[in-house]
Amino acid sequence: MSTEQPWSRAKGPFAAVFTAPALWLLFFFLVPLAIIWAYSFGTTQGLTDIDINGTFSNYVRIADPVYIEVFVKSLWYAALTTFLCLVVGFPVALAITFSSDRQKVWLLLLIMLPFWTNLLVRTYALMAVLRTEGFVNDMLGWVGLGPWPLLHNNFAVVFGLVYVNLPFLVLPLYSALDRLDRSLLEASLDLGAGHIRTIFEVVVPLALPGILSGLLITFIPALGSYLTPDLLGGPDSQMIANVIERQFKRANDWPFGSALSFILMYLTFFAIAAQGLVAKRRKGLEQ
Amino acid sequence: MSKKAAPLDYLSRWPLRLWLVLVAIFLYAPLLTLMAFSFNDSRRNIVWQGFTLDWYGAVFQDSDLLTAFGNSLTIAAISTVVSLILGAMVAVACWRFRFPLKPAFEGALALPIVVPEICMGVAMLVFFSRVMPWPDDLPWPFSLGAIIIAHISFSFPFVAVIVRARLASFNRELEEAAKDLGASEWRAFMDVLVPHMKPALIAGALLAFTLSLDDFVITFFTAGPDTVTFPVKVYSMVRFSVTPEVNAASTLLIVVTVLLTAIGLKMQGKDVAKMEGGQ
């Protein structure tokens, strides 16, 4: 529909709007990334010097079972978090979609407000609630249970990831469900299918592309989480980001940290590509 | 009342209402507990001992925390203004022009949105320690430069996405009409295109400000000992223990966030209504 103008026809205006952002992106984003990419093929010499000599030893080191385990665990936590967010968030998105306009504003605000709140503050709030002397254990104490160790373990990490990422999934889910043709749902109900069956056989297949992109939007930040495992986890709940941080700060092994960062980035791109492929295939099927 | 609910009115069904209540408790109970205990008259922060404002007093006495808070707001303000300008410019460039390697450029522009924060954080750490060391002895606020640059890098592509979506609904004939009537490129841009982009600019500013204020990971890697932001400061306090003072500081930040969101939504309200009416 839109007719784009070739840049050479209006060089002045093009240069005026293009130059500054392009240079910014190049110098303050692509160059830093390129440097750690180069570092990932280097070795540390002495305390601070890094010799970029084209070695693959950093990538070979990642194949060590210790690091493979961290990657597998991170992928598993991110997948589990995404799944739990879907289970918790789907009914919420459904309720928002079919509510009146007035209710919709309030329900969206209900989901958005924690989302706007600082991540660190939210994580800290969870720490205070889950501690052994925290609120949840107090309540368990009243009914004669506990105290259970709820903080500084793997349970706390997944709980925290769901808590932090839930709005990421509810909002795209809502926008996917909101686009559905309601007459199809009503037809399904009129023809005798129950609500559960309608949801699984009509709503989910129709909204699948939107659901998938919502899952991706939740999965990516969950996979790269640093703060949640750092503050809520125990000694054995480190995720990739924590290992990367250690290489750059305490362990002072920048080349290895760079290699780990790039593997994490490749995993992210792989997830995006996989989602894109599924969406494309579905589009192909529909036509 | 015996009015039967419409079949798709899921909100009127009790299991779904119960679910919503449980989700609301899940999302809000920790935050409300945190806020309530910021008024608790006990250092141990466990049992309710009585009402006090001492912890807020302590926050306002804590010059480190106040400096950090000021730094955060300054960084967010500057980063928002620059991100808004860069984001709007690049959105217009991609919307209006065809140029070589455009798909590659658009892909690169989307990178800061998808690259994991930790990767960008370490890249910035390396960049500002090896390639462009940021001098430590600059006067405030120039000492915050490294953090501001990093924040702009991850914020302006978000602004670009929002503005570009808005530009899709722009009628190019309006701009051509302005030019036919004798307006220069600049006049046409400022008087025709910018007013059309306004709702997206407000939404983009709100997002850029929140992203900057919220960021911990990337700042953690670019901040020096003298350029601590609020999240980085709270992080170092939290590492030691859960104290009522942190509760008070966090409550203040939550209040600031809610106020900003309310102002933003109010500013946007009219424009959003207009946008949705137009669709």
What pLDDT score was predicted for residue B140? 78
What pLDDT score was predicted for residue A33? 94
Least confident of A220-234, B117-131, B134-148: B134-148
Could B93 and A18 be called an inter-chain contact, meaning their C-beta atoms sit closer than 8 Å?
A: yes
Residues of chain B numbered 143-182 and touching chain A (CB < 8 Å): 149-150, 152-153, 156-157, 160, 168, 172
Q: Which pairs from A283-287 meet CB under 8 Å and 24+ separation?
A: A283/A209
End-to-end CA distance of chain A, in Å? 21
Checking if the pLDDT of B28 tops 60, the result is yes
Residues of B in contact with A12 (CB under 8 A): 185
The distance of B77 to chain A (nearest Cα, Å) reads 16
What pLDDT score was predicted for residue A130? 83
Could B261 and A112 be called an inter-chain contact, meaning their C-beta atoms sit closer than 8 Å?
A: yes
Checking if the pLDDT of B4 tops 80, the result is no
pLDDT, one tens digit per residue, over A87-97 is: 999 999 988 88
The distance of A286 to chain B (nearest Cα, Å) reads 25
B222 touches chain A (CB under 8 A): no
B277 touches chain A (CB under 8 A): no
Q: Determine if residue A239 is left, alpha or beta; phi over 0 gives left, psi from -120 to 50 gives alpha, anything else beta.
A: beta
pTM equals: 0.88
B271 touches chain A (CB under 8 A): no
CA dihedral sign of residues A134, A138, A141, A143: negative
Query: DSSP per residue over A157-187, as a string?
Result: HHHHHHHHHHHHHHHHHHHHHHTS-HHHHHH
For B222, residues 6+ apart whose C-beta sits below 8 A from its C-beta are B121, B124, B125, B128, B146, B147, B150
Pick A128 or B90 by higher pLDDT. Answer: B90
State yes or no: cis peptide before A147, omega within 30 of 0: yes
Select the residue from B122, B128, B179, B193 to test the A interface by mutation, using most A Cβ atoms within 10 A.
Answer: B122
A196 to each of A86, A146, A185, A203, B264, how far by Cα in Å?
16, 36, 11, 10, 39
Least confident of A258-272, B20-34, B142-156, B251-265: B251-265
Domain segments of chain B as ranges: 74-228
Select the residue from B16, B34, B102, B119 to test the A interface by mutation, using most A Cβ atoms within 10 A.
Answer: B119
Let me know how long chain B is.
279
Checking if the pLDDT of B276 tops 50, the result is no
Checking if the pLDDT of B274 tops 60, the result is no
Amino acid at A131: R
What pLDDT score was predicted for residue B61? 85
- CA B214 to CA B159: how far, in whole Å? 16
pLDDT, one tens digit per residue, over B173-219 is: 888 888 888 888 888 888 888 888 888 898 899 889 988 988 999 99
Residues of B in contact with A118 (CB under 8 A): 213-214, 230-231, 250, 253-254, 257
Residue B243 pLDDT class (50, 70, 90 cuts): confident
Amino acid at B158: F
Could B30 and A92 be called an inter-chain contact, meaning their C-beta atoms sit closer than 8 Å?
A: no
Could B122 and A258 be called an inter-chain contact, meaning their C-beta atoms sit closer than 8 Å?
A: yes
What pLDDT score was predicted for residue A252? 83
Amino acid at A89: G
- CA A143 to CA B247: how far, in whole Å? 28
User: What string of pLDDT tens digits covers the 287 residues of chain A?
Assistant: 457 888 888 888 888 889 999 999 999 999 999 999 999 998 887 767 777 887 888 898 888 888 999 999 999 999 999 999 999 999 999 888 888 888 888 888 888 888 888 888 899 888 888 876 677 777 777 776 767 777 788 889 999 999 999 988 998 899 888 888 888 888 888 887 777 888 888 888 888 888 998 999 999 999 999 999 999 988 888 899 999 999 988 888 889 999 999 999 999 999 999 888 887 887 777 66
Contact call for residues A204 and A211 (beta carbons, < 8 A): yes
Task: Return the ∠ at Cα B84 (arms to B79 and B85), rounded to 5°.
Answer: 105
Structure tokens at B242: 């859960």
What pLDDT score was predicted for residue A182? 80
Checking if the pLDDT of B278 tops 50, the result is no
Contact call for residues A156 and A236 (beta carbons, < 8 A): no
Name all domains of chain A by residue range, CATH numbers in brackets.
Answer: 13-55 (no CATH), 66-286 (1.10.3720.10)
B74-228 classified as CATH 1.10.3720.10:
yes
For B63, residues 6+ apart whose C-beta sits below 8 A from its C-beta are none
- CA B13 to chain CA mean position, Å: 36
The distance of A126 to chain B (nearest Cα, Å) reads 6
Residue B14 pLDDT class (50, 70, 90 cuts): confident
Contact call for residues A172 and A217 (beta carbons, < 8 A): yes
Structure tokens at B176: 């051509």
- For range B37-65, the mean pLDDT: 79
State yes or no: cis peptide before B141, omega within 30 of 0: yes
Environment class of B62 (CB within 10 Å of its CB; exposed 0-12, middle 13-18, buried 19+):
middle
What pLDDT score was predicted for residue A29? 94
For A85, residues 6+ apart whose C-beta sits below 8 A from its C-beta are A162, A165, A166, A168, A169, A170, A218
Residue B277 pLDDT class (50, 70, 90 cuts): very low
* Helices marked H in B53-191: 54-61, 63-96, 102-114, 117-126, 145-167, 172-180, 185-188
What pLDDT score was predicted for residue A146? 66
Pick B49 or B82 by higher pLDDT. Answer: B82
3-state secondary structure of B237: helix
Could A92 and B20 be called an inter-chain contact, meaning their C-beta atoms sit closer than 8 Å?
A: yes
Residues of chain B numbered 66-95 and touching chain A (CB < 8 Å): 85-87, 89-90, 92-93, 95
pLDDT, one tens digit per residue, over A144-190 is: 676 777 778 888 999 999 999 998 899 889 988 888 888 888 888 88
Structure tokens at B277: 């009416």
ipTM confidence score: 0.87
Closest CA to B239 of A148, A152, A117, A165: A152
Residues of chain A numbered 246-275 and touching chain B (CB < 8 Å): 248, 254, 257-258, 261-262, 264-265, 268-269, 272
Could B235 and A224 be called an inter-chain contact, meaning their C-beta atoms sit closer than 8 Å?
A: no
Checking if the pLDDT of B56 tops 50, the result is yes
